[in-house]
Amino acid sequence: MAEPEDAATKHIGILLFPNVEELDAIGPWEVLAFWTREFPDDGYAVSTLARDGGLVGCAKGLTVRADHSFGSAPAYDVLLHPGGKGTRPQLTDEEHLAWVRAQRESVPLMTSVCTGSLVYAAAGLLAGRPATTHWRSLDLLAELDPSVRVRADDRFVDDGDVVTSAGVSAGIDMALHLVARLAGEQRAREVRRGIQYDPRPPV
């Protein structure tokens, strides 16, 4: 559960929805939760939200409990939209797309992992912007909005008030980048060391 905080706390929200890809949400959660709990004086808190709150079934069978419903969630300073199979119906779900557009109006920094950026494109948030997504969905990103400047080789793309990342594990890199943006590079290095993130692929 989200921990209590004072009125000055800045909030980071990670969206959950049916068939969300587990690591898209949990990878950034690990980075951001370690940061906010180990360094509370930085003034940030992270929580999860889902449309109706409660339990959410993920793409590979994990079940997680959202901290908030849309109605009970705090005002967010950063919102992260993960990807996964559950994003496919969202691309034509006008209620969800309207909700995403409403967040764009109130949330200073919108971020995505994997195919979360497809939802942003469908909602019109990436028009004329550089962005990326999972490598298998790069063509679909371009189809959804031909004005998007697709960055096929980037691990993540920071375009100021919108940050998109490539697939699945790239969300960890993007989350560490957010820590660096919000609290400085030294803090990001401390968090990276704390979670012992030093990828050395075996093959």
**Domain CATH for 58:** 3.40.50.880
pLDDT tens profile 17-67: 999 999 999 999 999 999 999 999 999 999 999 999 999 999 999 999 999
33 within domain boundaries: yes
Range of the domain at 179: 10-194
Domain contains 200:
no
114 is catalytic: yes
> Does residue 36 form part of some domain?
yes
Q: Any residues with CB less than 8 A from the CB of 193 and at least 6 apart, and which?
A: none
Tokens of 170: 């790239």
Residue 3 included in any domain = no
Contacts of 15 (CB under 8 A, 6+ apart): 25, 48, 49, 50, 79, 80, 81, 82, 116
Based on the structure, what is the number of domains in the chain? 1
pLDDT grade, residue 2 (50/70/90)? very low
Is 61 within the bounds of a domain? yes
The verdict on residue 203 lying in a domain is no
List 114, 121, 163, 191, catalytic entry = 114
Contacts of 175 (CB under 8 A, 6+ apart): 27, 28, 31, 32, 80
φ and ψ at residue 50, rounded to 5 degrees: -140, 160
